[in-house]
Amino acid sequence: MSAPPGGADGRCLIGIDIGGTAIKLGRLRGGARELEAFRTLPTGAARPVDAVLDDLARALRTLTTEAPALGFGVGIPGTLTRDGRIDVLPNFAPGWRGVAVAERLERSCGLPGVVVNDAHAFILAEARVGAAAGARSAFGVTLGTGVGGGLVIDGRVHLGASGNAGQFGHHVFDAHGPRCGCGSHGCIETYASAPALVASVMRPFVQGAVPALVRLAGGRLEAVTPALIAAAAAAGDPICREALERLALVLGVGLADVATLMSPECIVIGGGMAGLGEALFDPLRRTLAAYARTAEVHRPALVAAALGARAGALGAALYAGDAFG
Ligand SMILES: [Zn+2]
C-alpha cells in the first residue's frame, strides 16, 4: 500500500520541520520508521529570511556530511504554491512570500529537495507508520496555536488543484462568525485553536466565575492553558466543561462534514491539544456520531496521533522519499 520509508538503496533522506519557534530535523535511513540524528535549533522567526535559511543550510550540510543522502523534504507551517513557493507564512517576518525554500537550500547544499505543508507532512507520517498505519485513507488534524489538516489516500497526500487541500482550520463553521486571519469568517480555527479555547474562558476568569481554574493557574490569567481548562472541567467546573463541549462541537461538526464528503477510514488528531485525551475525544466522538449520519455504516475511527513532535520532520522525509527514493 505504501512505499518503504527511506531510500531503497540504503541512502538516507533528510526531514525538516520548520516551526514558529523551533526547526526540527533528522535523517531517515532506508527501511527505517524513525528518524535518527534528530536535532532542533531555534527558528528565530522574526529574523530575515536569509538568516533562517543560512542556519538551515548549515544544519543540512552537517547531516549530509555524516551520511550521504538522496534528498531532503521541508515541512512549512503555511500555504504553498504548486511550484513549491511559499504563499502565506503566518507568524514569520515579512519577506517569505514567493520564496522557493527547497530551491534555495538545493543551491547551498547540492542536494535535491521538496517542500510540503507541515500538516500534510504530519498526516503522511501518521498514515504510513503511525496511528493510521494500515488504513487506506486517513484525514489528519493538527490542533495547536493554529488548526491544520490533510488527507492521505493510498499512502499519498492529496494536494488538490491548489496544492493546499485539506485545510481543516479554514473550513467555515459559521459564515456569520468572527473574522479569521485568512480573510474569511467563522473558520474552525477561530473557535477551536488553543488560543481560542483560552480566550473563551478569559472573561469568566477575571470575573472569578471559574474558581477551580483560577486556583490551578495560581490566579494568573497568563498561566491558563488548554490542559488547565481540561483539569478544571474534570474537577467539575461547569464553565470549563462547557468551553470544551463547545470546542468539540465545532471540531466534531467539521469532522462530520469530512466523514460525509470524503469518508476516510481513520481520522487522526494531533498537535498539542490532542494531549487533552478523553476530555476532548469523548465529546468529539459523540458529536461525530450525531452529525455524520450518512457515514454511519463506515464511520471513521477517531484516534490520537502516535508519533509525537517528530511526525512533521518524519513526514517531510517520507515526502522526499516519494520524490527521490
Ligand atoms: Zn480562515
Q: Does residue 183 carry a pLDDT above 60?
A: yes
Q: Could you report the per-residue pLDDT of 270-280, keeping only the tens digit for each?
A: 999 999 999 99
Q: Residue 82 Cα, ligand 1 centroid: separation in angstroms?
A: 20
Report the chain's mean pLDDT, rounded to a whole number: 93
Instruction: Give the distance (Å) from ligand 1 centre to CA of residue 287.
Output: 22
As beta bridge partners, residue 269 has 141, 304
Instruction: Say how many Å lie between the CA of residue 184 and the centre of ligand 1.
Output: 5
For the residues 69-77, what does the mean pLDDT come to? 96
pLDDT tens, residue by residue, 1-17: 344 454 455 689 999 99
Measured in angstroms, how far is the CA atom of residue 23 from the centroid of ligand 1?
25
Whether residues 223 and 259 fall in one domain = yes
Decide: 253 and 291 in contact? Cβ < 8 Å: yes
Residue 215: pLDDT band (50, 70, 90) is very high
Statement to judge: residues 267 and 156 lie in one domain = yes
pLDDT given for residue 9 in this prediction = 58
Q: What tens digit of pLDDT does each residue of 246-288 get?
A: 999 999 999 999 999 999 999 999 999 999 999 999 999 999 9
pLDDT category of residue 213 using cuts at 50, 70 and 90 = very high
- Return the closest-CA partner of residue 71 out of 13, 27, 115, 125: 13
pLDDT digits (tens, 9 = 90+) for 79-110: 999 999 999 998 899 999 999 999 999 999 99
Residues 206 and 194 in one domain: yes
CA–centroid distance, residue 201 to ligand 1 (Å): 22
Domain identity same for 152 and 294: yes
- Predicted structure pTM score: 0.93
- Residue 319 lies in domain: 12-124+309-324
Using the mean position of ligand 1's atoms as its centre, give its distance from the Cα of residue 309 in Å.
Answer: 24
pLDDT tens-digit map of 40-67: 999 999 999 999 999 999 999 999 998 8
Domain count, the chain: 2
More confident of the two residues 10 and 310: 310
Ligand 1 mean position, distance from CA 178 (Å):
10
Could you tell me the distance, in angstroms and rounded to a whole number, from the CA of residue 141 to the centre of ligand 1?
Answer: 15
Q: What gap in Å lies between CA 229 and CA 195, rounded to an integer? A: 12
| Residue 174 CA, ligand 1 centroid: distance in Å | 11
175 CA from centroid of ligand 1 (Å): 11
Q: What is the pLDDT at residue 10?
A: 66
> Which amino acid, one-letter code, is at 317?
A
Query: Is 261 a domain residue?
Result: yes
Q: Ligand 1 centre and the CA of 173: distance in Å? A: 10
How close is the Cα of 106 to the center of ligand 1, in Å?
A: 32
CA of residue 143 to ligand 1 center, whole Å: 14
Query: Residue 187 Cα, ligand 1 centroid: separation in angstroms?
Result: 5
**Residues with Cβ < 8 Å from 140, sequence gap 6 or more?**
119, 122, 123, 126, 127, 132, 149, 150, 151, 152, 166, 267, 268, 269, 270, 305
Instruction: Please tell me the distance between residue 188's alpha carbon and the centre of ligand 1 in angstroms.
Output: 7
Q: Which of 307, 320, 325 is nearest to 127 (CA)?
A: 307
3-state secondary structure of 15: strand
Greater confidence (1 vs 182) lies with 182
Other C-beta atoms within 10 Å of 233: how many?
Answer: 22
Distance 128 CA to ligand 1 centre (A): 28
Distance from the CA of 169 to the center of ligand 1, in angstroms?
6
The reported pLDDT for the residue numbered 293 is 87
167 belongs to a structural domain: yes
Domain harbouring 16, CATH code: 3.30.420.40
Task: Looking at the structure, tell me whether residues 294 and 317 fall in a common domain.
Answer: no
**Do residues 87 and 220 both lie within one domain?**
no
Does one domain contain both 30 and 119?
yes
Which one, of 141, 207, 129, 197, lies nearest residue 171 by Cα?
141
Sign of the Cα torsion 156, 132, 139, 182 reads: negative
